[in-house]
Amino acid sequence: MINLEVPKKARALVNQARQAAAEVFRPISRKYDRAEHSYPTELDMLASLLDGLNSSGEGGAGAAGVRRNDEDKHNGNRNGGNLSTVLGAIEMCWGDVALLLSMPRQGLGNAAIASVANEEQLNRFSGLWAAMAITEPGCGSDSAAITTTATPDGDDYILNGEKIFVTSGERADAVVVWATLDKSKGRAAIKSFVVEKGTPGFEVVRLEHKLGIRASDTAVLRFDNCRVPKENLLGSPEIDTKSGFAGVMQTFDNTRPLVAAMAIGVARAALEETKRLLQEAGVKIDYDRPANAQHAAAAAYLELEANYEAAYLLTLESAWMADNRKPNSLQASMAKAKAGRSVVDITLKCVELAGTLGYTEELLLEKWSRDAKILDIFEGTQQIQQLIVARRLLGKTSAELK
């Protein structure tokens, strides 16, 4: 049976992540929110520490994905890398979500490699900082509508297309690019390719100015006859129309709980700060009395906490299922949908409850409310997650329920 308490073996990692968030991220959070596109050099030493934790098997506290190993047999419940990484991400994003997204070698592209790469690729790309490039100018939530092409040519593939809103697209060493081998075969032909910086035909076009997560660079990339070795295709090159989108979609089963965890961390930061402000104002939050018998601000706060707890438990469940080799696509989407919606509602309401303090730069509440929105958008929007959940629950295909 699943136990959603923090496992004993993960408590040291959670404590380390919380210390890093409090002592490294929080003090520089406002600095790099104002200095958009400036690389936070303070992260280099912390990234090296996380690399050591990952290589030692202790598990880092960043956003790097965790590989599932079907040969890893065990008896009983397992609390493994997915749950540890989710718990670490929650703590780090309590500090600053944009700075976590800026951490070298802890990006969503690394999660893609961890999800679908073969053993040779895992070794070859070890230590690489990889961004993830999915979204296109004409293709956002519907990843199956990707138009970037990968054409076989001898020992290479030639990539042509444009990608937008690529997190760490300028700073990363490489980009995991989603492209189609054959547009006529739909979802099944979409594959992911590791394209390293410096490859001819690969260009960073520009950086975006954004509402939130300003410490993280977000780039537009262009691929113009970009030649990529065939061995850089992640997973199988075969187009299997029966399995359809399953290969590349496995990436989302790993990354959606991570994005949900990021939302949990931001939401908790806002709740803790708001609770402190309410207490200073003399508003008592009583967990033993009905909400309607308390101060209106206390009642509102209790509702926010309830949404937070629901999102938190869904997120832990989806990570636990991945660790125990259980299909978690439904749970990953449920966690992402609930956490993404909740963090937006929670941070905006916390700004409101804090009054003028919430709207100024005196506190980080206004920043968290800006950072929160992207967590409801990337890795599949709120609407897409709800659609996926509905398809799973009703047993409908993507063609039957659009």
Give the model confidence (pLDDT) of 228-240 as tens digits.
999 999 988 888 7
131: exposed, middle or buried (C-beta count within 10 Å: 0-12, 13-18, 19+)? buried
Percent of the chain with pLDDT over 90: 70
Which residue ranges in the chain fall short of pLDDT 50?
63-64, 66, 71
| Separation CA 6–CA 316 (nearest Å) | 9
Burial level of 293, CB count in 10 A (0-12/13-18/19+)?
Answer: exposed
pLDDT for the residue numbered 220: 98
What DSSP state is assigned to residue 103? S
Q: Decide if domain 130-234 falls under CATH 2.40.110.10.
A: yes
Pick the closest to residue 203 from 177, 190, 221 (CA basis): 221
- Helices 81-95 & 296-323 angle (0-180, nearest 10): 150
User: Residue 368's Cα: distance from chain center in Å?
Assistant: 16
pLDDT of amino acid 369 = 98
Quote the pLDDT of residue 76: 61
Judge whether 379 counts as a catalytic residue.
Answer: yes
Please state the domain extents for the chain: 8-124, 130-234, 246-394
Residues whose CB is less than 8 angstroms from the CB of residue 83 and which lie 6 or more positions away in sequence, other chains included: 7, 10, 316, 319, 320, 323
Query: How many H-runs (helices) and E-runs (strands) does the chain carry?
Result: 13, 8
Backbone angles phi, psi at 227, to 5 degrees: -90, 120
Catalytic option among 170, 305, 379, 400: 379
The confidence score (pLDDT) of residue 248 equals 60
User: From residue 357, how far is each of 219, 320, 347, 363 by CA, in Å?
Assistant: 33, 38, 13, 7
Whole-model pTM: value is 0.92
CA-wise closest residue to 108 among 116, 187, 243: 116
- Could you check whether 8-124 and 130-234 share the same CATH topology? no
SS (H, E, C) 7-59: CHHHHHHHHHHHHHHHHHHHHHHHHHHHCCCCCCCCHHHHHHHHHHHHHCCCC
Structure confidence by residue, pLDDT tens digits, 353-380: 999 999 999 999 999 999 999 999 998 8
* Distance in angstroms (rounded) separating the CA atoms of residues 209 and 396: 39
User: Residue 331 contacts by C-beta under 8 Å, 6 or more apart in sequence?
Assistant: 314, 317, 318, 321
Residue with tokens 């509702």: 303
DSSP string, 189-202: GEEEEEEETT-TTE
The per-residue pLDDT for 135 is 93
Q: Which fold has domain 246-394?
A: Butyryl-CoA Dehydrogenase, subunit A; domain 3 (1.20.140)
Cα separation, 183 vs 162, in Å, equals 16
At the second CATH level, the architecture of 8-124 is Orthogonal Bundle (1.10)
Helix (H) or strand (E) holding 83: helix 81-95
